[in-house]
Amino acid sequence: MSQLTRMRELRDLQAALRTASDIAFDQEAPAGEQAEVLVDALRRALTAAQSLSEGPGETGCREHPRGAVDPLYGDKDDPLPPGWGRCLLCNDRRRRATRAARRA
């Protein structure tokens, strides 16, 4: 999910939660139409929250789906070795391993 999509989901979540809490913290217990609006808002909040927690992250890495993307990924002038992914954490580990192998 792109950063932009995540921001949009977060805004949806906040708007839905605000609506829900406005109704829930009202002087009187919600009934009828108000109760339906409450259920609808909470459902939207749940959907938005789920889409924030699901799916592969930017890195496409199973171990670090929420990690940083390697800034060198896709760099034409300084390409990453073949087989390396977008995950900065995994690539750093590979870099360290490569350096250690060179020292040995």
Binding site for Zn ion (CB under 5 A): 61, 63-64, 87, 89-90
In the complex, minimum distance from the CB of residue 7 to Zn ion, in angstroms, rounded to a whole number:
23
How many Å apart are CA 43 and CA 48, to the nearest integer?
9
In the complex, minimum distance from the CB of residue 71 to Zn ion, in angstroms, rounded to a whole number:
15
In the complex, minimum distance from the CB of residue 90 to Zn ion, in angstroms, rounded to a whole number:
3
Residue ranges of E strands in the chain: none
Looking at the Cβ atoms of 10 and 89, the one nearer to Zn ion is 89
How many Å apart are CA 70 and CA 81, to the nearest integer?
12
Collapsing DSSP to helix, strand or coil, 87 comes out as strand
Looking at the Cβ atoms of 63 and 75, the one nearer to Zn ion is 63
Looking at the Cβ atoms of 14 and 74, the one nearer to Zn ion is 74
**Residue 69 carries which DSSP code?**
B
